[in-house]
Amino acid sequence: MKALARGLILPATAVIGWELASRAGVLSLDTFSRPSDVVVAGAAAFVDGSLLLATLQTLQAAAVGLCLAIALGVPIGMIIGVSAATRLTVAPTLEVLRPVPPVALIPLSLLILGFGVSMEAAVVAFACVWSVMIATTAAVRSMEGRLAEVARALEMRPLAYMRKIVLPAALARIAVGVRVAVGIALVVAVTVEIVVNPRGLGYGMIIAQQSLRPDLMYAQLLWIGFVGWVINWGLLALDRRYLSHFANAGRR
């Protein structure tokens, strides 16, 4: 409790200082708005449902993109991890694609997919697939060598080997890759909305700015920060509850 109070000193001082400065006319209202106005604008957007709708739209695109990234990243990562021949064939191509900034794909995906959830999800998937794939490959490659020997001794078919041995052994580390990807997904989704896609929180923010409504813009900015914080908090909780247990069990 005491720690919480201490942690609040800085933001509370900043907000009060901001409010006082704008009331005294030191800060321009067009640029900085006023904390009280921001709260009112945020509450209004919350009550009329627009903020919630935008949040769902952003989360939907981020989630679809993330699922795509997992659906592609995990199998590809597993194959690359298991088979040296595939790795040598595919790796150069992947290494060329990987540094392409996801944001640079926005015009292309707009041209192909148009406005909407699919183009946003496509850019998110491109941004997220790498961390999932790399985590998977690394996990598979660092797998206990004896597990492969067991599979050989049992004369397992490749698919069964992947499903029964490789995936369970790599799961904990794949989850770490997915966790990194979750953070990227939200950032990229909001970016796509700010740049082109007319839906979600990023779009709401840019439209508020263009409509000369800095109060609403700040409210949305704070809300995006809050949503990001909640997601991160949820992931940490999941991590503590399941993954750390998983990872330790694997290590023993």
Partner 1 sequence: MKISQYLGLAAAIVMLGGMHSAASAQTKVNVGYTAAGDFLPVFVAKEKGYFDKRGLDVTLTRVALASTVPAALMSNSVQIGTGTGPGLLQASEGGLDLVAVSGAARQMRSNATVSVVARKDAKIATPADFKGKKVGVPGLNSVLDVVFRKWLKERGVAVDSVTLVEAPFPQMNDMLRGGTLDAVTVLDPFRLKIVGDGNGVKVADYFSDVKDGMLFGFWIATRTWADANPAAVKAFREASAEAIAYIKANPDDAKTIEAKYLGVKTPGFASFDIEIKPADLQDYAAIGKDLGLLRKDIDAARLIAK
Residues that bind partner 1 (CB under 8 A): 28, 30-31, 107, 110-116, 194-196, 198, 203, 206-213
Residue 196 Cβ vs partner 1, minimum distance, rounded to whole Å: 5
- Termini Cα distance of the chain: 37
Instruction: Provide the CA 131 distance to its chain's centre, in angstroms.
Output: 11
DSSP secondary structure code for residue 103 in this structure: G
CB of 169 to partner 1, least distance (A): 43
The alpha carbon of residue 83 and the mean position of all alpha carbons in its chain are separated, in whole angstroms, by 29
How far apart are CB 172 and partner 1 at their closest, in Å?
40
* CA 186 remoteness from chain centre: 4
Minimum separation from the CB atom of position 212 to partner 1 (A): 6
Closer CB to partner 1, 37 or 73, in the complex: 37
- Of 90 and 206, CB closest to partner 1: 206
Between 114 and 225, name the residue whose CB sits nearer to partner 1: 114
Nearer CB in complex with partner 1: 165/219 = 219
Report, in Å, the least distance between residue 217 CB and partner 1: 9
In terms of CB distance, is 61 or 80 closer to partner 1? 61
- Coil, helix or strand at residue 146: helix
Task: Read off the DSSP letter of residue 50.
Answer: H
Q: 92, exposed or middle or buried, with CB in 10 Å at 0-12, 13-18, 19+? A: exposed
Q: Which is nearer to partner 1, 30 or 95 (CB)?
A: 30
The closest of 116, 139, 127, 89 to 193, measured between CA atoms, is: 116
- 141 Cβ partners below 8 Å, 6+ apart? 81
CB of 153 to partner 1, least distance (A): 51
Q: Collect all residues with Cβ–Cβ distance below 8 Å to 127 and sequence separation of at least 6.
A: 65, 69, 102, 184, 185, 188
Whether the CB-CB separation of 140 and 81 falls below 8 Å is answered with yes
Residue 90 · residue 149 · CB < 8 Å: no
Residue 207 C-beta: closest distance to partner 1, Å: 6
